[in-house]
């Protein structure tokens, strides 16, 4: 299908056909002349359609309809970075249906998500279906009947500034990916890609891994005394030696302390008591929701956002029918409406009593260094009276657990602080000062509803301290044991998903709505792997980071990336032109690209020098050797290769040693080992070359057709991967999409096809019953 190039600096379609003044929207008659409402999600379309009634025709775009082309740059740098937009593969029919509906519409309401991506989708839709009829932009902050009807009564216009900010981000990402990725193809292998933001996130992970490898543990010792008073035990630790922090580096140092205080009576020299009030945390933002869901529910960012999307778009909750259960889930604000706060306070007063209700509503503000757009409220329940247990039977397990987390956090944010009695007891033993610290909760406050998750490296909180028995100055306690303990300083911990999201937010890398896409992309490209819920950069990821950061230190830089986010925010505010942002970026970027010496880069990446290549001669014909790049990466070849000589030499590192397995060869019944070939790992017979039996490594997923064999990766004659039954040709089951060991919620079969596309987003389809679930919306995948 022919596509046309469009200059985005022109007026938007909404401005070319001005919308009516924002007066109350009147329901139109059904049939010809009805009002067309366009949203992103079919689920949202269904919910909103029931609210609006028969006078409205509600259609869904299912994510983005238009984007830059996949096989060309699609940006005319010489003409003001003019983008070339084309219809995304698989969206032609959707777009045709919208155009057809628009021809019969009296009015058009663009009701895509209230963020930059949603604004861009609305802009593209308006451009493609331009019919001259009044076109409005409406924003649904929550999908409830009252909110939807109120938004329809006060329509506005497309925000050109948001569109420009999204467009600038998309073009930036395309310029970096399209111009920088070929460097990876020539130095490592074809098909790799470099992302503007993802590479900086990868840099954080790789630099942390280098810190861990280079860390040299230091030995230190502590001394603890197990004390008792009136039958209650507690622990006092050595706090000072000669008025300073203890410096015990050897066992001898610690033993000297033990010997010095063993016979000294432990008499209380000081008792300090105080109350500590611990305030509840603010309602969730996108970032804090992802962090807390990772800690408390073990959810990935993508899993969290998928469940949140469902809750926002609308669930059928019995008599209330389909309704959105939470407000818009992509937000960086902790602001909450007065009505929502009043509802929460009413619930707290009626269910938990006056002691739990503050005298005035609790107001939260963003941190001092936080970059907040404040376009939307914090994430909260749309109706706080809809308790989690009331809707549990209508929700999937993930949806319920996330709704419960959001509901509890929001209500708890308006509850009184928890109060603790803190006690600090000191024992002055001359040169040595021992100290014990304890706490007792005297009022649970917001803990009646909610307690934050905590990872190991975040340390202990006040609520984790053990109580200390009543003591007064001059009291002598029994010392049952004095123990020296050896410790070693530890390296910084590897990032978990929660701590990585927190760090990205702190550094200003990306936006909260893109964190899950950033992390998922790193895993999908196999730049990182996750073990025990911690990120480990792979060898491939480290090589990508080394090349990209080494050659573009100013581009893949934390400060530069953060500053770029600030500039995009200024574009959205109307304080900066989007083309100016691109111009300021592109000049130094192209200069850095031009300075790349590919031969030197390849040689350095693979541990050889350009001088060594120049000196080397072909062992077959004596001709010079040159560096070449092929499908599987760079290699050395004779200059007469493919003419009169066939000498080539791979630059790949030595293959991994064979690994034994319990598998038996299907040809001779001998043991098999795991070998590594150019296509990855495979099983091979140990009697090779006498027996040439090989087969793919099973995925641990049973074939849905024969139920007997396992599924394994296979390849076509041209090297393209597919997955099929190991019993072939007895069983001919195969699929192009990689199966993953996930359980189908419909039939319970363990094994679903994993697929990611801009048209459908990230989906899972059951291998057995073909039930499909969506894990990520198309717009999230488009960001990756």
Catalytic center residues: 328
Query: Cα(476)–Cα(56) distance, rounded to whole angstroms?
Result: 81
DSSP H stretches of helix in 355-417: 388-391, 397-412
Query: Cα(206)–Cα(18) distance, rounded to whole angstroms?
Result: 51
Query: Cα(429)–Cα(749) distance, rounded to whole angstroms?
Result: 67
Cβ neighbours of residue 8 under 8 Å, at least 6 residues apart? 82, 83, 163, 164, 167
Contact, 14 vs 74, CB < 8 A?
Answer: no
Q: At what angle do helices 286-297 and 515-524 cross, to 10 degrees?
A: 50
Query: Cα(395)–Cα(315) distance, rounded to whole angstroms?
Result: 8
- In terms of C-beta density within 10 A (0-12 exposed, 13-18 middle, 19 or more buried), how is residue 255 classed? middle
Expressed in angstroms, the distance from the first to the final Cα of the chain is 26
Give the dihedral of Cα atoms 753, 755, 759, 765; nearest 10 deg: 20
Query: Cα(410)–Cα(166) distance, rounded to whole angstroms?
Result: 30
Look up residue 339 and give its two tokens. Answer: 């009505």
CA distances (Å), origin 175, targets 182, 193, 203, 589: 12, 12, 19, 9
Query: Cα(713)–Cα(655) distance, rounded to whole angstroms?
Result: 20
* 8-state DSSP, 550: H
Residue 671 forms beta bridges with which residues?
664
How do the residues of the chain divide into helix, strand and coil, expressed in percent and rounded to 5? Answer: 35, 25, 40
- In terms of C-beta density within 10 A (0-12 exposed, 13-18 middle, 19 or more buried), how is residue 740 classed? middle
Query: Cα(494)–Cα(301) distance, rounded to whole angstroms?
Result: 17
Per-position b or e across 276-306, b if 16+ CB within 10 A of its CB: eebebbbbbbbbbbbbbbbbbbebbbbbbbb
Residue 566's CB is within 10 A of a number of other CB atoms, namely 12
For tokens 């389909």, what's the residue? 322
Look up residue 138 and give its two tokens. Answer: 């409406």
Contact, 676 vs 655, CB < 8 A?
Answer: yes
Phi, psi of 497 (to 5 degrees): -65, -40
Contact, 405 vs 297, CB < 8 A?
Answer: yes
Query: Cα(378)–Cα(211) distance, rounded to whole angstroms?
Result: 36
Contact, 487 vs 219, CB < 8 A?
Answer: yes
- In terms of C-beta density within 10 A (0-12 exposed, 13-18 middle, 19 or more buried), how is residue 597 classed? exposed
Number of H helices, E strands in the chain: 21, 34
CA distances (Å), origin 693, targets 367, 506, 667, 672, 678: 62, 53, 6, 9, 17
Residue 449's CB is within 10 A of a number of other CB atoms, namely 21
CA distances (Å), origin 695, targets 669, 670, 700, 727, 739: 13, 13, 14, 11, 18
- For residue 538, give the 3-state DSSP assignment: coil
């Amino acid at each position: 299908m022919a596509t046309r190039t469009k200059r985005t600096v022109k007026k938007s379609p909404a401005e070319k056909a001005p919308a009516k003044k924002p007066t109350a929207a009147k329901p139109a008659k059904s049939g010809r002349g009805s009002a067309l409402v366009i949203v992103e999600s079919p689920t949202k379309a269904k919910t909103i359609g029931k609210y609006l009634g028969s006078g409205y025709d509600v259609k869904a775009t299912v994510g983005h309809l238009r984007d830059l082309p996949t096989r060309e740059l699609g940006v005319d740098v010489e003409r003001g970075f003019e983008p070339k937009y084309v219809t995304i593969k698989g969206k032609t029919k959707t777009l045709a249906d919208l155009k057809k509906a628009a021809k019969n519409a009296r009015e058009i309401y663009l009701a895509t998500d209230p963020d930059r991506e949603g604004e861009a989708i609305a802009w593209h839709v308006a451009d493609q279906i331009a019919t001259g009829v009044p076109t409005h932009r409406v924003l649904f902050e929550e999908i409830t009947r009252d909110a939807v009807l109120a938004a329809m009564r006060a329509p506005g216009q497309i925000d050109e500034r948001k569109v420009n900010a999204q467009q600038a981000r998309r073009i930036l990402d395309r310029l970096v990916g399209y111009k920088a990725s070929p460097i990876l193809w020539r130095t490592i292998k074809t098909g790799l890609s470099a992302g503007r933001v993802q590479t900086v996130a990868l840099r954080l992970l790789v630099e942390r891994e280098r810190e861990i490898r280079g860390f040299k543990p230091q030995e230190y010792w502590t001394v603890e005394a197990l004390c008792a008073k009136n039958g209650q035990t507690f622990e006092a630790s050595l706090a000072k030696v000669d008025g300073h922090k203890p410096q015990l580096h050897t066992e001898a140092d610690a033993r000297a302390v033990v010997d010095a205080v063993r016979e000294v009576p432990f008499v209380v020299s000081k008792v300090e008591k105080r109350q500590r009030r611990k305030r509840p945390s603010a309602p969730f933002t996108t970032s804090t929701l992802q962090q807390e869901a990772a800690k408390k529910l073990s959810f990935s960012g993508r899993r969290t956002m998928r469940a949140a999307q469902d809750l926002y778009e609308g669930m059928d909750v019995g008599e209330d029918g389909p309704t959105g259960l939470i407000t818009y889930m992509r937000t960086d604000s902790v602001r909450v409406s007065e009505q929502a706060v009043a509802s929460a306070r009413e619930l707290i007063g009626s269910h938990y009593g006056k002691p739990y209700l503050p005298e005035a509503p609790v107001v939260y503000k963003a941190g001092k260094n936080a970059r907040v757009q404040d376009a939307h409220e914090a994430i909260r329940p749309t109706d706080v009276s809809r308790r989690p247990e009331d809707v549990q039977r209508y929700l999937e397990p993930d949806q319920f657990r996330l709704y419960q987390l959001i509901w509890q956090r929001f209500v708890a944010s308006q509850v009184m602080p928890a109060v603790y009695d803190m006690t600090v007891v000191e024992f002055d033993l001359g040169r040595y000062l021992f100290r014990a610290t304890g706490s007792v909760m005297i009022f649970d406050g917001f803990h009646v509803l909610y307690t934050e998750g905590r990872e190991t490296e975040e340390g202990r909180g006040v609520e984790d301290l053990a109580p200390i028995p009543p003591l007064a100055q001059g009291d002598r306690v029994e010392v049952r044991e004095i123990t020296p303990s050896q410790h070693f300083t530890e390296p910084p911990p590897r990032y978990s998903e929660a701590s990585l999201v927190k760090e990205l937010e702190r550094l200003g890398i990306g936006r909260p709505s893109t964190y899950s896409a950033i992390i998922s992309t790193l895993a999908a490209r196999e730049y990182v792997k996750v073990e025990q819920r911690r990120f480990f950069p792979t060898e491939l990821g480290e090589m990508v980071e080394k090349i990209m950061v080494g050659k573009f230190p100013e581009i893949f830089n934390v400060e530069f990336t953060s500053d770029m986010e600030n500039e995009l925010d200024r574009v959205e505010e109307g304080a900066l032109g989007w083309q100016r942002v691109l111009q300021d970026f592109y000049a130094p970027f192209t200069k850095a690209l031009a300075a790349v010496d590919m031969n030197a880069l390849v040689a350095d990446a693979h541990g050889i020098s350009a001088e060594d290549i120049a000196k080397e001669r072909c062992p077959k014909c004596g001709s010079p050797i040159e560096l070449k790049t092929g499908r599987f990466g760079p290699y050395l070849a004779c200059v007469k290769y493919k003419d009169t000589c066939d000498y080539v030499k791979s630059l790949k590192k030595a293959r991994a040693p064979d690994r034994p397995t319990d598998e038996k060869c299907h040809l001779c019944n001998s043991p098999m080992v795991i070998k590594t070939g150019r296509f990855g790992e495979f099983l091979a017979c140990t009697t090779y070359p006498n027996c040439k039996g090989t087969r793919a490594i099973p995925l641990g997923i049973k074939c849905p057709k024969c139920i007997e064999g396992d599924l394994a990766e296979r390849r076509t004659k041209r090297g393209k991967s597919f997955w099929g039954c190991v019993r072939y040709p007895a069983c001919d089951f195969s699929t192009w999409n990689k199966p993953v060991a996930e359980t189908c919620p419909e039939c319970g079969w363990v094994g679903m096809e994993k697929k990611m596309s801009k048209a459908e987003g990230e989906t899972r389809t059951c291998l057995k019953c073909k039930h499909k679930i969506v894990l990520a919306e198309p717009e999230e995948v488009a960001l990756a």
